[in-house]
Chains A and B, each alone.
Chain A
């Protein structure tokens, strides 16, 4: 048996989480940082040892220690990338909370480390019920993070977050039980190739959709997200936007599409309509926000809508694009929340009007903020451009109308992001206290610089990130090809004209003869 690296990646933060509960503030911070950095190192080892083009499922572990389901771990390229995203963001989250969290630090760090265990578990689980346990368990630490360390309206936000996502998930559990009963196995790789009766798929798809649409979040069940984001502490927002929102997209790509291809095709129109509404509507809502975090939260919903539309394009470009948007958005929106956090820590307000002209007194900060703003807009050379371009290109092959609407969303995205940037970083320094704020310190550098590097890397050489996923996405495309839906973008083969355009008709020739 090979070295159980995935289990180790679960164990390191778990041990850290338990240790943090019993430690004082400063040592808890150190333990959390060390544990997350160790996991990042393990993640790098994982990526380096991942055999691109090798077996579909690698680092497989299996132990039959439970009744009814098994402890089975293993990853493919898609899961690898999302695990990398999680372990990359985690140390940054710990740094982001270094000074801003002062009460009950041990418990806070413990909750974050627990969150990391559960996220890695979700992406690595190869057993349906093990997946569900990890998927659902994430509610507990997030509920505490929002509820204990959140803003003024944290209790409402924490309840809303918990109950919304719980209600979405429980129906999925019943659907999973039905599937396991039907197929006789809980093994995800086996279920991926099991053909369920198309009639039953409809119901199963809807049950899964209820869960993933809430997690994603798709319009109209996105309303928990702005509340949760605004009230959560900075690091909580980063994890929410960076990784937790990816659970929905991961669910679609891992379960809904390959397990229910016919039903996915059947409901493509629904996904497209919801995505189109989300792109336009939430972008417009973002445009009028006064609260920075709320603005970024709404922009997340709009970006995620491009993910869902790309996923349901049923072709490789769309799927790869969706994955790249997820990775890029994970970095960029996380970074934007960090940027908000940096100035929130100084002035303790998220109101946009309280800032202004920060480029004068915080030039380094303004530079980073500019980079992430541009990345969020989808400037070529940054991560989001690659993903959005691919997703829209894939989408164009299916439906030109949906592409048109989603592309409009990107224009609106440029509008609200640049408007935000102008109000915060440029213009007159109207507020004296904002004008006195010091520029980035070393800790904040250490948080923002790695993300900036990753954003540029992903934008300039996306192949590093696409290569591990290519084979898995090709397999997925082949799996769902039989059900691919057709909208208005099909190439129609017309009847060829009989003659060239410059053909001179015979009669005409006769006429010219005399």
Chain B
């Protein structure tokens, strides 16, 4: 293996890093004046990285199984799939971000640069096959996330969100590190293959502690119950575009990292962690659904909704089969479209003065004021609730099917019954928009960029999305097969 190959396989991250460094210099010298052009270039860089990852999708496995730098990093189909999602989601969020901050006169060129560094970190997270690479990627992404959460410096809620996120995120990183040290201590290796080989040779109680700590830390990052407490506060306090970002790209990265971690190094010890995942999955579904019911704030509601969705994704992991991993990836892809669409719609809800609306009373009777927006939100909410014929149903369908195929019928039955609780608050969304009388004045125009992102997301989650099931099924199956051995 040559360095050239390694550079090629990590091309997306290298390209993004260079772009971020260059744009950082531009931002440092020109200040806020260049914010707009820096944003555009960042979007271009992210889209370029996504296209590059698409190119790597099925090609990388051929030569060296996508291994780079002595198997510290693997650019396989799984990593590429997750990266495409991450980069595209980050790019879409950058498109809808500036208007929010410009309104508050606090948009700065550092914002897109931070996003780029974050994206590099997330790319490393999903491709890492060594605990060291993993930790570096995780911290790189997390640190830029803390700054993004408190980007609205004048707003105390934003600073509060940043601080909370930092303290609890650091705690989670500590837990992961502790687990990593235990795993390393019992296996003598930080490499995934080495760990798996050592576990196959003998799995001690101490090693089990390591596995549990690592999984607990990762559960914090994906905000699975019982490590979810930070999510509603951070989501509510952070500026809306940042919340949209937290709910999409980093969630994909953390979830993909969790999938790889559980199925690759810990893949031989499924029985020892399956109970934990099943508990986290069901608890997330139930707590996410119950917690959302009383919420008045839409961002907070969507935070609980994301906890709820993580539960469904974890059901795919609990199946612990290639089909289960593929199902989780399918769910993630659809989830990103749904959440991105929902937050974009939320960003488009402003009163005539330009203040963002974010409670139920604000959107009351929306369907008479902004019918197109209301119908888009209706489709998104029914999709999140998993009601066919919207595409959100397909995500739930594949994870439950994977669980049934893995003989976890009881888990599937309980999970799907609990999803009905979740339907309740999505229905409330629709009830408020369609059945109630309008209470607030709502801005009547939205920029084309927002409409474009919303239209793409709604097109994906509409029944047209079912035409994607064949390619999506192929890609996710290929991605899962790239590191999960068929059992």
Binding between chains A and B: yes
A→B interface (CB under 8 Å): 21, 65-68, 104, 107, 129, 132-134, 136-137, 139-140, 143-144, 147-148, 154-155, 158-159, 162-163, 166-167, 170-171, 173-174, 177-178, 181
Q: Which of A67, A133, A155, A177 contacts B472 (CB 8 A)?
A: A67
Given A166-B387, A170-B416, verify A177-B424 contact (CB < 8 Å): no
Chain A's nearest CB lies how many Å from the CB of B112? Answer: 36
| Contact between A174 and B420, CB atoms less than 8 A apart | no
Given A147-B434, A155-B435, A171-B413, verify A177-B420 contact (CB < 8 Å): no
> Which residues on the A side are within 8 Å of B388 (C-beta)?
132-134, 136-137
> Which residues on the A side are within 8 Å of B467 (C-beta)?
65-66
| Contact between A177 and B404, CB atoms less than 8 A apart | yes
> Which residues on the B side are within 8 Å of A107 (C-beta)?
371
Q: Which of A136, A167, A177 contacts B417 (CB 8 A)?
A: A167
| Contact between B423 and A163, CB atoms less than 8 A apart | yes
| Contact between A174 and B431, CB atoms less than 8 A apart | no
Chain A's nearest CB lies how many Å from the CB of B476? Answer: 10
| Partner-contacting stretch, out of B26-34, B131-139, B337-345, B394-402 | B394-402
**1/0 per position for B384-398, CB-CB distance to A under 8 A?**
000111000100011
B446 at the A interface (CB under 8 A)? no
| Contact between B401 and A65, CB atoms less than 8 A apart | no
| Contact between A67 and B470, CB atoms less than 8 A apart | yes
| Contact between B469 and A170, CB atoms less than 8 A apart | no
> Which residues on the A side are within 8 Å of B389 (C-beta)?
133-134, 137
Q: Which of A104, A133, A136, A177 contacts B400 (CB 8 A)?
A: A177
For the complex, what is the distance from the CA of A129 to the CA of B192, rounded to whole Å?
39
For the complex, what is the distance from the CA of A151 to the CA of B416, rounded to whole Å?
32
> Which residues on the B side are within 8 Å of A173 (C-beta)?
397, 400, 416
| Contact between A66 and B400, CB atoms less than 8 A apart | no
> Which residues on the A side are within 8 Å of B423 (C-beta)?
162-163, 166
Main secondary structure of the interface of A (DSSP, over half): helix
**1/0 per position for B426-453, CB-CB distance to A under 8 A?**
0100110011000000000000000000
Tally the A-B contacts, defined by beta carbons under 8 Å: 92
Number of interface residues of B (CB under 8 A): 36
For the complex, what is the distance from the CA of A489 to the CA of B350, rounded to whole Å?
71
> Which residues on the B side are within 8 Å of A170 (C-beta)?
416-417, 419-420
| Contact between B416 and A162, CB atoms less than 8 A apart | no
| Contact between A66 and B466, CB atoms less than 8 A apart | yes
For the complex, what is the distance from the CA of A309 to the CA of B419, rounded to whole Å?
32
For the complex, what is the distance from the CA of A134 to the CA of B387, rounded to whole Å?
10
B473 at the A interface (CB under 8 A)? yes
Chain A's nearest CB lies how many Å from the CB of B366? Answer: 13
Given contacts A137-B388, A159-B424, 13 further A-B contacts (CB under 8 A): A65-B466, A66-B466, A66-B469, A68-B397, A134-B388, A136-B393, A139-B387, A144-B430, A155-B431, A170-B417, A173-B397, A174-B412, A177-B404
> Which residues on the B side are within 8 Å of A104 (C-beta)?
367-368
| Contact between B409 and A174, CB atoms less than 8 A apart | yes
Given A68-B401, A132-B388, A170-B416, verify A154-B435 contact (CB < 8 Å): yes
Q: Which of A136, A147, A162 contacts B435 (CB 8 A)?
A: A147
Closest chain A residue to B416, Cβ basis: A170
| Contact between B398 and A68, CB atoms less than 8 A apart | yes
For the complex, what is the distance from the CA of A465 to the CA of B404, rounded to whole Å?
41
| Contact between B387 and A136, CB atoms less than 8 A apart | yes
B296 at the A interface (CB under 8 A)? no
> Which residues on the B side are within 8 Å of A159 (C-beta)?
424, 427, 431
| Contact between B412 and A177, CB atoms less than 8 A apart | yes
Q: Which of A134, A144, A166, A167 contacts B434 (CB 8 A)?
A: A144
> Which residues on the B side are within 8 Å of A154 (C-beta)?
435
> Which residues on the A side are within 8 Å of B359 (C-beta)?
none
For the complex, what is the distance from the CA of A107 to the CA of B434, rounded to whole Å?
11
Chain B's nearest CB lies how many Å from the CB of A20? Answer: 13
> Which residues on the B side are within 8 Å of A65 (C-beta)?
466-467, 470
B→A interface (CB under 8 Å): 367-368, 371, 375, 382, 387-389, 393, 397-398, 400-401, 404-405, 409, 412-413, 416-417, 419-420, 423-424, 427, 430-431, 434-435, 466-467, 469-470, 472-474
Closest chain B residue to A114, Cβ basis: B389
> Which residues on the A side are within 8 Å of B431 (C-beta)?
147, 155, 158-159
| Contact between A163 and B400, CB atoms less than 8 A apart | no
Closest chain A residue to B473, Cβ basis: A67
Chain B's nearest CB lies how many Å from the CB of A369? Answer: 32
Closest chain B residue to A118, Cβ basis: B389
> Which residues on the A side are within 8 Å of B424 (C-beta)?
159, 163
For the complex, what is the distance from the CA of A158 to the CA of B427, rounded to whole Å?
10
For the complex, what is the distance from the CA of A162 to the CA of B398, rounded to whole Å?
23
> Which residues on the A side are within 8 Å of B405 (C-beta)?
177, 181
Chain B's nearest CB lies how many Å from the CB of A14? Answer: 10
Chain B's nearest CB lies how many Å from the CB of A321? Answer: 33
For the complex, what is the distance from the CA of A65 to the CA of B473, rounded to whole Å?
12
> Which residues on the A side are within 8 Å of B401 (C-beta)?
68, 177, 181
Chain B's nearest CB lies how many Å from the CB of A154? Answer: 7
> Which residues on the A side are within 8 Å of B398 (C-beta)?
68
Chain B's nearest CB lies how many Å from the CB of A71? Answer: 9
Q: Which of B387, B420, B435, B473 contacts A137 (CB 8 A)?
A: B387
| Contact between A171 and B469, CB atoms less than 8 A apart | no
Chain A's nearest CB lies how many Å from the CB of B460? Answer: 15
Chain A's nearest CB lies how many Å from the CB of B465? Answer: 10
For the complex, what is the distance from the CA of A479 to the CA of B216, rounded to whole Å?
53
> Which residues on the B side are within 8 Å of A163 (C-beta)?
420, 423-424, 427
> Which residues on the A side are within 8 Å of B368 (C-beta)?
104
A-B contact pairs, 13 of them (CB 8 A): A21-B375, A68-B401, A68-B469, A137-B388, A140-B387, A163-B427, A166-B387, A166-B420, A167-B417, A170-B417, A173-B400, A178-B409, A181-B405
Closest chain A residue to B389, Cβ basis: A137
| 5 closest residue pairs by CB, A with B | A67-B473, A67-B469, A133-B388, A177-B404, A170-B416
> Which residues on the B side are within 8 Å of A158 (C-beta)?
431, 435
Chain B's nearest CB lies how many Å from the CB of A184? Answer: 11
For the complex, what is the distance from the CA of A132 to the CA of B466, rounded to whole Å?
14
For the complex, what is the distance from the CA of A143 to the CA of B385, rounded to whole Å?
14
Closest chain A residue to B385, Cβ basis: A166
| Contact between A174 and B413, CB atoms less than 8 A apart | yes
For the complex, what is the distance from the CA of A144 to the CA of B371, rounded to whole Å?
14
| Contact between B470 and A66, CB atoms less than 8 A apart | yes
For the complex, what is the distance from the CA of A65 to the CA of B388, rounded to whole Å?
17
